[in-house]
Each structure stands twice: as structure tokens, then as C-alpha cells.
Structure 1
């Protein structure tokens, strides 16, 4: 299985502009630039897209792991905060903080934490990233 995405960039780093698209068409020529990445201008950026991909992948992985243990979540909500830090002369994603809130009938706190951490380690997006990934998981009553 292969998925595609593309980016087009025109101009210099600070004055240039680009677009990001996905092969599925979910994103089509979405604009991005220095100002949307390093300043507070509205728009998307690669780190935000990585965060969305990580949150989505983790949520699905957690659902799968729950199912293997005969649990079904009523709701899984995951937020990913991606930190881009200046390192040396460049930048790198240093941390991704996942925050999970889930409502899962019949599960106890210990099992919930165990399975959430298993999903964090097993999620394909977690495996591809070189950042330190933390998880703060809350089981709703």
C-alpha cells in the first residue's frame, strides 16, 4: 500500500510560497509559507500535518489494540502537539506530546494505560518519527 502527497514551492525561504496536496484530494493546493510555519499567520505547515497524521494514526491503532482485548471505545480523542526547535543552524521536531481522552466501557485504569502505551509504541507514524513522543492518557468515566 502506498499513499502520496506533494508540495510545490516557489521563491526564497522567507518570501516564497508553497502548496501542499494529498493524492486522495483531502488537501488540494493548500497554501503554506514561512509565515504560516514560523509566525502566527493562519494557514497550514508540515508540523501541523504531521501532528494530524500522528493523532489519527494513534487513535486508529488504539482502537485496534482495544479490539484485540475485547474492548470497544465509545470515543477516542487525541491531540498531538508537535514542537519544532532550533537546533544548531537548522530546525528539528524534538517532541510530540499526545493527549488522549477516551471513554471505554468496562476497562480499568491500569489496562487503559497499558493499551494506550502499546498503541503509542505500535502506531506506524510513531515508528517513523525520530522525536521524543510522550502520552498523557485520561480514561473518562
Structure 2
């Protein structure tokens, strides 16, 4: 079993408060987050962009694994995940994560590409975690 940690600290009210988020590895170390960073355009991070980064990286690794099972190795896998936060049932919910992939995979047919990208979308651990609609737009370059 693998366990990884993230942590957050929050001080103050919802709209005037501020927080920091950190990761076990130290890649994020007290990165600022807050209401205006999440619902506005103030610089800093927010939970949705962190989920997007986690989903994009997880999908990319899952795709690499599945490609290897098909004797293929990608030259490049570039994935962006757009996470949607919406008001729902009297609160907010992450309702969607849209994966946008551009990949260079020597020797991959379109048929195999479509198959392995769908497998990665459905099989990556972050996709399994999210209770949201997950869509994929995949381009074989």
C-alpha cells in the first residue's frame, strides 16, 4: 500500500481568510490559496487546479503503462485536465474533468490509440476517485 500526504492550513473567514497547502515531497511548501484564488483571478493555487494537475499526471502515467503493454512507447504525452466547479444542490461540487491529450506515439494506429486512451481514462486511479463526468479529447500527432 502506498500512502502520500498533503496538508492545508486555513486562518480567518471564508472570504477574508487565507490558507497554505503543502505536499509531503515539499514540491508545494505553504503555497497560498484562498477564496479569490479559487473564485476569482488572484494569483495562487486552488483545489480545482491541484485536482486538474493530479488527474492529468495520473492519466499520462496510466497511458504510458498501457502503451507499454501494447509494445509501444510514447515520444511525448501532453495532457491538460480542466476541472469544473459548479453550484449544485445548495453547495458546490466538482462536476467534470475534461482531459485534453496530444501524444506522439511511433507505430501506434488510430484504432490502438483510441483503445488505450479510453482504457487510461477509465483506469487511472484519479479517474476512479472522482465522482464527476470525465471526458477525453485525444489527438495522435
TM-score by length of 1: 0.98
2:58 corresponds to = 57
1:54-133 to structure 2, matched below 5 A, reads 54-133=55-134
CA RMSD of aligned residues (A): 0.5
Give the SS at the match of 1:49: helix
1:3 corresponds to = 4
Deviation at 1:40, TM superposition (A): 1.1
Paired residues, what number? 140
Distance 1:88 1:40 in 2: 25
Deviation at 1:89, TM superposition (A): 2.1
Deviation at 1:88, TM superposition (A): 2.8
- Note the residue ranges of structure 1 that are not aligned, 5 or more in a row: none
Deviation at 1:29, TM superposition (A): 0.2
Give the SS at the match of 1:138: strand
Distance 1:86 1:66 in 2: 38
- Note the residue ranges of structure 2 that are not aligned, 5 or more in a row: none
1:61-103 CA distances to partner (integer Å, 9 max, x unpaired)? Answer: 0000000000000000000000000113210001000001000
Distance 2:91 2:111 in 1: 41
2:19 corresponds to = 18
The answer to whether the aligner puts 1:47 opposite 2:43 as a matched pair is: no
1:7-40 CA distances to partner (integer Å, 9 max, x unpaired)? Answer: 0000010000000000110100000000000011
Query: Hey, which bits of structure 1, 4+ residues long, moved more than 6 A?
Result: none
